[in-house]
Amino acid sequence: MPKNLSELSGRKGIVDSLFEKMGQAAVEEGTPSKEELGKLADEFLIGKANTYGAATFYDFMKPENKGKKVYVCNGSACLCAETQDGVKKELKKHFKEEEIGHMTCLGRCHENAAFHLGGYNYSGKAIKEIRSVIAENHKSSRDSYAVEAHGIAVLTAEYDKKELFHLLRNALRRDSIEILDEIKGSGLRGRGGAGFPIGFKLESCRSVESDTKFIICNADEGDPGAYSDRYLLEERPLAVLFGMMVAGYAAGANWGVLYIRAEYPDSVEIIESAIEELRHQNLLGEDIQGSGFTFDFKIIKAQGAYICGEETALINSIEGQRPEVRARPPYPTQEGLFGKPTAVNNVETLAGLLYIIQHGGRAYKAIGTERSSGTKLVCLDGRFNRPGIVEVEMGTPLSEVVYKWGDGFKEPVKALHIGGPLGGIVPLSKIDDLTVDFESFTQAGFLLGHASVVSIPKTFSLMEYINHLFDFASYESCGKCFPCRLGTKRGHELTEGSLKNGMKIDRELFDDLLHTLASGSLCAHGGGIPLPVRNAMEYFNDELKAYFN
């Protein structure tokens, strides 16, 4: 059935998108009506249960969203900053309780107190000026934060637009297999978490015969604490688009799809403008510059679902299906979007291709470590004395990032949650042992992931934090496999009962639950959540043992 739905959803191609039409139907009321969903089902020749089941999954289309006017960030960075109760208190002076919803991370982790109003994001001191924000009809509130490169600047380097356009034209004059070899030779690994080499994905996609292929930019950066992809989309948009086009040329793809979070409204507008710049330069469309290469872009605005950061759930989402994780094989490079070969990579990975084409794969490979080449963007949250984004060469000591460039903390911190909700909780005592690369973190029992850093204050209860993680994981589970669907909920019930009712958790039962999640879940969502929990129990046993029998 899923393959049939993929085919039916793709009947009109990527331009006429079922998912996009669902989102448009939800704009006025906050959720599409059953009548509108029924019409879409008839238009795309699928069942009404399919359109209803898909629409009701997403935060910004589900019926519970109806009538919401303002949304409060409930990401872990804002949670640990302990700003959100104050935000809600102020918003309740201007909005009814039922008009206030939530969004999971708005990418304002550097200053917290984040909320979304009238299609725009706000943070920091904005809540203290809420009257004027409302009076000004919710005009965009662009934020600013420190961005520094230490070592070679790859992703944060300024680029001249004319030179970028010239470089792209020259790249399309080269043999596409030569471009692929440069990418493979660079050793560039995916920056979204898994660290899979992009060159192998593009080669796999290239090797499959098909009249249509896709390059998807996974811009659904949902990890609380991370805002590096937002930075690239808004401050280096042409670098991202350049990377997608080069990837498309190497893989033989003719479409670039950007799946951008609804929580990043400014990113959508800026990328749209950058696409038009490329079009004005005659660098999009049929037979670009006589190269024989045909390529164009499509922006898909996501509707609020963390699981869409997983590539197969993202593909299902674009198709208008429920964003459930697919079993593999087949892999997306074999059968992806609408059943066509598809290479999915995140924003930071694709943006790195600009440097590779500029300087060559060998030059990129020479940066960083043997197995983790290149640079990494590290996001520092609002607890740092110098919050913002730091670009470092892979292999840089984590202690330098924290104390030298982040300038330490505004108040005592006991641990750093690095790599998003599924990343490891690193006690301060371990910072000196780690370097910013995949191997160092994995060998020490942590996960580099997105390299988002959420500071956990000494005064913040770790059991409260674990409870928050289970709640988050349960809420965001796609529900396809029972270890994740049931296990995350059971974990939340146990920690909630311990915190609120003084219930002692059976340690053996809890360990068994974590084992089942880690070994039985279909994807990294359920399989990854035990990692930070185990880290907390290992390094903060004295604090947590009171909750267990």
Q: What is the pLDDT of residues 351-408, one digit of tens each?
A: 999 999 999 999 999 999 999 999 999 999 999 999 999 999 999 999 999 999 999 9
Min mean pLDDT across 127-141, 336-350, 445-459 is at 127-141
Query: Domain containing 311: what range?
Result: 147-365
Could you tell me what percent of the chain has a pLDDT over 90?
A: 89
Q: How many CB atoms lie within 10 A of CB 507?
A: 13
**Same-domain check for residues 210 and 266:** yes
Residue type, 522: L
**Same-domain check for residues 101 and 112:** yes
Identify the CA nearest to 417 among candidates 291, 258, 533, 506: 533
If one counts the domains in the chain, the total is 5
In a domain, 456, yes or no: no
In a domain, 420, yes or no: no
Confidence of residue 11 (pLDDT cuts 50, 70, 90): confident
**Same-domain check for residues 180 and 84:** no
Among 15, 46, 65, where does a domain finish? 65
The per-residue pLDDT of the chain, averaged, comes to: 95
- Say if residue 170 is exposed, middle or buried (CB neighbours under 10 Å; 0-12, 13-18, 19+): exposed
Residue 436 has pLDDT above 80, yes or no: yes
Do the Cβ atoms of 51 and 36 come closer than 8 Å? Answer: no
Please report, for the domain that includes residue 230, its CATH number: 3.40.50.11540
> Given CA atoms 308, 234, 158, 448 in this order, what sign does their dihedral have?
negative
In a domain, 419, yes or no: no
Task: Provide mean pLDDT across the span 151-163.
Answer: 96
**Same-domain check for residues 379 and 361:** no
Please report, for the domain that includes residue 409, its CATH number: 3.10.20.600
**Same-domain check for residues 473 and 493:** yes
In a domain, 457, yes or no: no
| DSSP 8-state symbol, 412 | -
**Same-domain check for residues 264 and 383:** no
> Which helix (H) or strand (E) covers residue 414, if one does?
strand 413-418
Sort residue 408 into left (φ over 0), alpha (ψ -120 to 50) or beta.
Answer: left
**Same-domain check for residues 447 and 468:** no
Please report, for the domain that includes residue 34, its CATH number: 1.10.10
Identify the CA nearest to 260 among candidates 225, 323, 308: 308
- Tell me the backbone φ, ψ of residue 45, rounded to 5 degrees: 60, 35
Confidence of residue 8 (pLDDT cuts 50, 70, 90): confident
**Same-domain check for residues 319 and 395:** no
SS (H, E, C) 112-166: CCCEEECCEEECHHHHHHHHHHHHCCCCCCCCCCEEEEECCCCCCCCCCHHHHHH
- β-bridge partners, 457: 413
Structure tokens at 102: 């939530």
Among 86, 112, 144, where does a domain finish? 144
Do the Cβ atoms of 23 and 304 come closer than 8 Å? Answer: no
Check residue 1 and give its pLDDT. 46
**Same-domain check for residues 244 and 177:** yes
In a domain, 521, yes or no: yes
Identify the CA nearest to 487 among candidates 535, 533, 429: 533
| Helix 48-55 / helix 34-43 crossing angle, nearest 10 deg | 130
In a domain, 253, yes or no: yes
Task: Provide mean pLDDT across the span 164-180.
Answer: 98
In a domain, 423, yes or no: no
Residue 13 has pLDDT above 90, yes or no: no
Q: How many CB atoms lie within 10 A of CB 147?
A: 16
Residues in Cβ contact with 489 at an 8 Å cutoff, skipping those fewer than 6 apart: 470, 474
What are the pLDDT digits (tens) for 285-336? Answer: 999 999 999 999 999 999 999 999 999 999 999 999 999 999 999 999 999 9
In a domain, 422, yes or no: no
**Same-domain check for residues 96 and 202:** no
**Same-domain check for residues 166 and 315:** yes
- β-bridge partners, 72: 102, 115
**Same-domain check for residues 238 and 131:** no
What are the pLDDT digits (tens) for 224-239? Answer: 999 999 999 999 999 9
